[in-house]
Chain A
């Protein structure tokens, strides 16, 4: 199973605004919950997200525990050239995940 999904149109016209949807599979444990024995469950979340378009950063986000499990993001960018759109999620306990999708711009 893919641990991350990036959804965007496979092709676009130059100058068109495209929507990018990115979803990562992650518990996003808040660090505020306890087990039934009272022990705090340590925080384990994705803390940052960066999206690059042919290596240039176009969008980034910082997450706090108030982001729901399996963090979902939808944002937009202007299709400028053919290439790859890559997303990188990093988080607690050395979590790191990268996924990229190709786009062709006419």
Chain B
């Protein structure tokens, strides 16, 4: 009996101690600043839409002509190879003026803007981007006649960029 009580006491003490630690952790996390994930509010579809409208200035965007080359499945969102190709003869009278890249779920909708001209010879640009989540990446190109064309690609991201703590 005596040993049993002793054991129980030990167990009670242990549980109390454990509870104390747990409460301590809870207090700690309550006092700590919100995690980066919550603070970095992700761009919504509307924000992306607004960013695109800033570029197109209300002009209609046609689907097509733009091809995005992105891996379908991305291990690491910190550096994702992206290539954008536009169907264009790239002559002095018919060429791609600019290519703009947008995301839907990164903290900011804009990724990059590229300005090229007939001297490029070929309407193709490649870079490496960051992706914070599984999402759709869209590229809009502006042609020399003032029309806008767009293309998108869906990417699955397993390790997100930007939101990790140091």
Contacts and interface: CB of A to CB of B under 8 A. Distances in A.
Contacts, number: 117
B45 to A, nearest CB: 16
Given A63-B112, A66-B106, A73 B127 contact: yes
Given A53-B119, A58-B120, A59-B115, A66 B33 contact: no
B129 interface: yes
B23 interface: no
Interface secondary structure of A, over-half rule? strand
B83 to A, nearest CB: 8
Contact of B165 (A17, A35, A74): A35
A66 B121 contact: no
Q: Size band of the B side of the interface? A: 35 or more
Q: Size band of the A side of the interface? A: 20 to 34
B36 A67 contact: no
B86 to A, nearest CB: 12
A67 B119 contact: no
Contacts of B44: none
